[in-house]
Amino acid sequence: MMSSLRYGAAARLNKALALLLLLCSVMAAPARADTVHLLALGDSLTQGYGLIEQEGFVPQLRAWLAERGHDVRLVNGGVSGDTTAGGLSRAGWSLTPEIEGMIVTLGGNDLLRGLPPEVARANIEGILKIAAEKDVEVLLVGMQAPGNYGPDYKAAFDALYPELADAYGALFFPSFFEGIMPDGEMSEEARSLMQPDGIHPNGEGVARIVEAIGPSVEALIARIADAG
């Protein structure tokens, strides 16, 4: 009788120890990271003009990040034809409460229309101010003016992006087309990565663009995690 009692007590003790060990292992395991919510605010380059949906910038960037283990919800805030003024006009309501980070890719349509660099600067600065007010981290993507507008215009336009990124503590990526034109020149290979209009990348071109900008988006995600 005593032997059976001792056996029962030992069995219960073993079960209790096993449960304790299980609880300890669960508590010690790293918690699953929460989903990071990002907004891509831009124009047709962001929106995916001329491409089937899965070939666009936002879907390809989503897939690139997922392949690297990032749990990210990336909202496509690209509007074809939008200028920096258009981006500013919708930045406030586009930054819904769950958005933690924003990728800003605007300025191409300002260039196509020959708008003054100081106007683009004021609009981009307005977007950065709204982001700061909402505690949203920003990756600002630069844009370069063509030389045919003259050296003063080009210098002023090209400089506004790194200067504003520095002033507002935003992350900076030099050019949306970095993955296609790393030297800023439209080579024959670069032309093969563009759609017939010569303005928008094709699906393969977008893949190159995502590969180039991806690490900077990862840096944005890391900054959000550190801030949290």
User: Any idea which residues carry the catalytic annotation?
Assistant: 44, 197, 200
Element (H, E) at 201: none
Helices and strands (DSSP H and E) totals, the chain:
9, 5
If phi over 0 gives left and psi between -120 and 50 gives alpha, with beta otherwise, what is residue 221?
Answer: alpha
Please give, one letter per residue, the 3-state secondary structure of 21-41.
HHHHHHHHCCCCCCCEEEEEE
DSSP E strand boundaries for the chain? 36-42, 72-78, 101-105, 137-141, 171-173
Residue type, 125: E
Tokens of 75: 């909202």
